[in-house]
Amino acid sequence: MDFKSNEKKWQEIWDKEGRYKAVDFSDKPKYYILVEFPYPSGSGLHVGHTPSQIAMDIVARKKRAEGYNVLYPMGWDAFGLPTENYAIKNGISPIKATSDNIASFKNQIKSLGISFDWSREINTTDENYYKWTQWIFLQFYKKGLAYKATANINWCPNCKTGLSNEESEGGVCERCGTPTVQKPKTQWMLKMSEYAEKLLKGLDDTNYLENIKIMQKNWIGKSEGTLVHCKLESGETFDIFTTCIETIFGITYFVLAPEHELVKKLKDKIKNYDEVEKYILKTSSKSEFERTQMLKEKTGCLLEGIYAINPVNGKKVPVYISDYVLAGYGTGAVMGVPSHDQRDYDFAKVAGLAIIEVISGGDISEKAFEKTEYLGKGCTLVNSDSFSGLTVEEAKVKLNEYLEKKGLGKKINTYKMRDWVFSRQRYWGEPVPLVYCEKCGWVPVPDDELPVTLPKVDKYKPSDDGESPLSLIEDWVNTTCPHCGGKARRETDVMPNWAGSSWYWLRYIDPHNDKEFASLEKLKYWNKVDLYNGGGEHVTRHLLYARFWHKFLYDNGFVLNPEPFDRRVQQGIILASDGSKMSKSRGNVVDPLKYVREYGADVTRLAHMFMGDYVEAKPWREDTMKPCERLLNRIVALSDRVVKDKSDENKTILAQSIKKVSEDIDGLKFNTAISQIMVLTTALEKASVVSEEDYKVLLSLVCPFAPHTAEELWQELDFGGRVDDSWPTYKEEDLKAGQVEIAVQVNSKIVARVMINPDDSQENILNTIKTSDTLKSYLDGKQIVKEIYVPARLVNLIVK
């Protein structure tokens, strides 16, 4: 049989039957498998996309055989820059470009025989989809979690245009090479920081891989510390945040972020304001890239005539501004303790400031004695008034108590995670559904007028003032205020790429609902995603955004559980065969269809999975095609030998194979599952009898990997029912073989191998071995001081 020629046939049968449609409210237990939906780019589906879809397909097919009602859907995350740029360049509409790309992606996926439920296909650029993206945004707005604020955008002074982070990588404009600058712009923000603690805590209720949890934790970046109220000599107050309150007596200066509000307030009191203003200007023109390049050299500017008071000892110290203090983190102001913080140390050296040791046990003549070195070592405070002599740990507690009692400060937590800049000055994204009215201010578009659709234009170009291209489309921008009916203008920013993917798994649950994004009944039935597979590059962005939206929806009663995904796994990235990243621009993209045409879908699927450990990154290689083709050929050839007789000749290897393949699929160890299928095939080839029952097990096990071939053979042999009707089971007692070979060691060195019956008693086995001829020379005249028996594995005799 040539299995390749039957693949199309089975794909059509599955389609026609709707075999893989997930059934809402079925009595079967449900299992929801999600694989990240692709961005339908012009370069087509490539082998970077396929491993995860194939792997999850294998899990889905196995789960269905086990009796689960499996939801395994697919869709398209189609808004985004590449399509927009492609459309501008070629003068076509992004809508057309998107639908062309989707058609080709879909064709590629279908030819691999992936069992997606296509009746639930979604597309983030579909009006019926982004209607709900906009609706959810408005819920954020109505709860006060969407707000306008000034944030920086990357700006090319030459092209006079705003750039995405991708377009300004390395700090230069992608188009003209001019260094980009940061330009402040009013933008929509989502108050993600309000969910920092919930996002952190919620991780405990998930089964993500441990490294994924750690990455998210690091990104959220919780710090426990102390907020301290400080005063200037002239009476103004400001707060600082520190995680090292024990070093507060070591303050020799304070530093404010250049953007700190106090700086402007003090304008009249700062003697060198000209100089200060210059420094601020210099900082603000620096790009993010430049600022991170400045790791070593510390710069700053003294605020002449300004002094601050150390709240714990009343000491008068100078105040600086410096760009190593970030406005957006903590309070935008820090205490300078050069003795115990390396950055402060560097700054103090440059500025010629005093360095006072307050934690004993280190050497501060060359560098700071930092918390990573002194924590947990029993170091004590010095030069700290009544707190001197306490250990660091004691001092932390006592100082916090002291500050709290005196009203000088309190314990707080801060987070590195910032609010989400939710505006893009682009065309190809979801319009932000708000209008601005001179009288009423920002007014949400009423629900019954959603979606606010993108104006369909033949051609458009980016504006040259940093505004969205939409701002040039006058008859779209001008509208009436939903509130007062007066003249109003639409928001012209669109949402970022990440918007549509922040809730898409909910839409699969109820994709055609035009009353709600999904009904509560269906949400209740499907509950959460049981298994979510995606790329490592999405762990800190998409995965966090998605959890944020979900938690917000949960808090407002729109979904029924606080976490969207139970188990999160990731596939290793597939690189080009030379180890470089696969991309259209490098011209090293590998099309899976090439292999489907040459070897068929089943071989291609097997080869993908046999390439190595699923979770490890690896270069694409095609030398796994042939052995997988050989495996299927052998299984086909074996069908000629199948007889109706019963036989338990193969029961051990069958039981072992069922166990191994089942466990390996659950554990995503697809390569070793295929190895086991190879081992089983070899065993059946060598067996004197291959019974129908034996062969059925083989087909069932191979079915998730090579479904077309398994179906075809099952039908050809007229086994009745379907190959994927059930998943084979085994008896525990069949796992053990009657006789096994074990190793015999003397003083931990292997001296012999013997066959034993593993059910025999330890005493018997040891006696037989000790008295055997082969061991004689090793044991004669020696005394056995210790005997070790590892059941069914080895015997180790320690002699003297």
| Contacts to RNA from residues 405-444, by CB under 7 A | 414, 416
Which CB sits closer to RNA, 189 or 506? Answer: 189
621 touches RNA (CB under 7 A): yes
221 touches RNA (CB under 7 A): yes
Distance between CA atoms of 696 and 706, rounded to whole angstroms? 14
Which CB sits closer to RNA, 148 or 222? Answer: 222
Which CB sits closer to RNA, 123 or 322? Answer: 322
Distance between CA atoms of 429 and 80, rounded to whole angstroms? 7
**Residues 134-153 as x/- pattern, contact with RNA by CB under 7 A:** --------------------
Is the bond preceding 451 in cis, omega lying within 30 degrees of 0? yes
Residues 163-192 that bind RNA (CB under 7 A): none
Distance between CA atoms of 788 and 800, rounded to whole angstroms? 15
For RNA (CB under 7 A), the number of binding residues is 78
Return the range that interacts with RNA (CB under 7 A); candidates 52-60, 351-359, 382-390, 784-792.
784-792
737 touches RNA (CB under 7 A): no
Report the sign of the C-alpha dihedral through residues 464, 470, 472, 477, in that order. Answer: negative
Cβ atoms within 10 Å of 619's Cβ, excluding its own: 15
Q: At residue 63, what are phi and psi to the nearest 5 degrees?
A: -60, -40
Beta-strand relationship, 181-190 and 146-156: antiparallel
Tokens of 173: 């404009």
The minimum distance between CB 337 and RNA, in angstroms, equals 7
Distance between CA atoms of 662 and 668, rounded to whole angstroms? 10
Query: Contacting RNA (CB under 7 A), which of 669, 704, 708, 713?
Result: 669
Close Cβ partners of 651 (under 8 Å, ≥ 6 residues apart): 734
Residues 247-306 that bind RNA (CB under 7 A): 257, 291-292, 294-295, 298
Torsion, Cα 497 499 502 507, to 10 degrees, reads -110
Amino acid at 321: I
Amino acid at 745: Q
Distance between CA atoms of 429 and 435, rounded to whole angstroms? 17
Query: Contacting RNA (CB under 7 A), which of 117, 246, 323, 430?
Result: 323
Query: Contacting RNA (CB under 7 A), which of 383, 671, 757, 768?
Result: 671
674 touches RNA (CB under 7 A): yes
Report the sign of the C-alpha dihedral through residues 260, 261, 264, 266, in that order. Answer: negative
Q: At residue 620, what are phi and psi to the nearest 5 degrees?
A: -65, 140
Provide the β-strand partners of residue 222. Answer: 415
Query: Contacting RNA (CB under 7 A), which of 317, 421, 737, 740?
Result: 740
Return the range that interacts with RNA (CB under 7 A); candidates 53-61, 348-356, 730-738, 742-750.
742-750
Amino acid at 275: E
The minimum distance between CB 556 and RNA, in angstroms, equals 29
626 touches RNA (CB under 7 A): yes
Which CB sits closer to RNA, 330 or 462? Answer: 330
776 touches RNA (CB under 7 A): no
Query: Do 335 and 318 form a contact (C-beta atoms < 8 A)?
Result: no
Distance between CA atoms of 15 and 2, rounded to whole angstroms? 22
241 touches RNA (CB under 7 A): yes
Residues 338-357 that bind RNA (CB under 7 A): 341, 343
What is the layout of strands, in order, in the sheet containing 420-421?
161-163, 146-156, 181-190, 420-421
The minimum distance between CB 449 and RNA, in angstroms, equals 38
The minimum distance between CB 632 and RNA, in angstroms, equals 10
335 touches RNA (CB under 7 A): yes
Query: Contacting RNA (CB under 7 A), which of 330, 469, 496, 534?
Result: 330
793 touches RNA (CB under 7 A): yes
Which CB sits closer to RNA, 88 or 636? Answer: 636
Query: Do 344 and 315 form a contact (C-beta atoms < 8 A)?
Result: no
Query: Contacting RNA (CB under 7 A), which of 479, 627, 757, 778?
Result: 627
Close Cβ partners of 300 (under 8 Å, ≥ 6 residues apart): 255, 279, 320, 321, 322, 323, 324, 347, 350, 351
748 touches RNA (CB under 7 A): yes
Q: What's the Cα-to-Cα distance from 462 to each of 164, 187, 428, 465, 471, rounded to whole Å? A: 13, 17, 11, 9, 9
Query: Helix axis angle, 94-111 relative to 7-17, nearest 10°?
Result: 110
**Residues 19-58 as x/- pattern, contact with RNA by CB under 7 A:** ----------------------------------------
Residues 515-574 that bind RNA (CB under 7 A): 536-537, 540
Return the range that interacts with RNA (CB under 7 A); candidates 378-386, 458-466, 589-597, 670-678.
670-678
Return the range that interacts with RNA (CB under 7 A); candidates 457-465, 487-495, 604-612, 697-705.
604-612
Residues 676-715 that bind RNA (CB under 7 A): 678-679, 682, 685
635 touches RNA (CB under 7 A): no
The minimum distance between CB 85 and RNA, in angstroms, equals 22
Provide the β-strand partners of residue 128. Answer: none
Which CB sits closer to RNA, 443 or 799? Answer: 799
Distance between CA atoms of 321 and 300, rounded to whole angstroms? 6
Distance between CA atoms of 40 and 112, rounded to whole angstroms? 17
The minimum distance between CB 226 and RNA, in angstroms, equals 8
DSSP 494: B
Return the range that interacts with RNA (CB under 7 A); candidates 183-191, 213-221, 508-516, 725-733.
213-221
- Residue 78: name the closest of 12, 140, 125, 9 by CA: 125
Distance between CA atoms of 135 and 671, rounded to whole angstroms? 44
The minimum distance between CB 634 and RNA, in angstroms, equals 5
The minimum distance between CB 455 and RNA, in angstroms, equals 34
712 CA to centre of own chain: 38
588 touches RNA (CB under 7 A): no
The minimum distance between CB 10 and RNA, in angstroms, equals 23
Distance between CA atoms of 405 and 312, rounded to whole angstroms? 12
Query: Contacting RNA (CB under 7 A), which of 742, 765, 769, 775?
Result: 742
Query: Do 65 and 703 form a contact (C-beta atoms < 8 A)?
Result: yes
- Residue 445: name the closest of 726, 103, 139, 748 by CA: 139
Which CB sits closer to RNA, 483 or 770? Answer: 770
Tokens of 569: 């796994």
Which CB sits closer to RNA, 51 or 431? Answer: 51
Tokens of 792: 């069914």
Which CB sits closer to RNA, 246 or 430? Answer: 246
Query: Do 203 and 217 form a contact (C-beta atoms < 8 A)?
Result: yes
760 touches RNA (CB under 7 A): no
616 touches RNA (CB under 7 A): yes
Return the range that interacts with RNA (CB under 7 A); candidates 30-38, 112-120, 501-509, 611-619.
611-619
* Count of residues making up the chain: 800
Query: Contacting RNA (CB under 7 A), which of 555, 741, 760, 763?
Result: 741
Query: Contacting RNA (CB under 7 A), which of 111, 161, 242, 339?
Result: 242
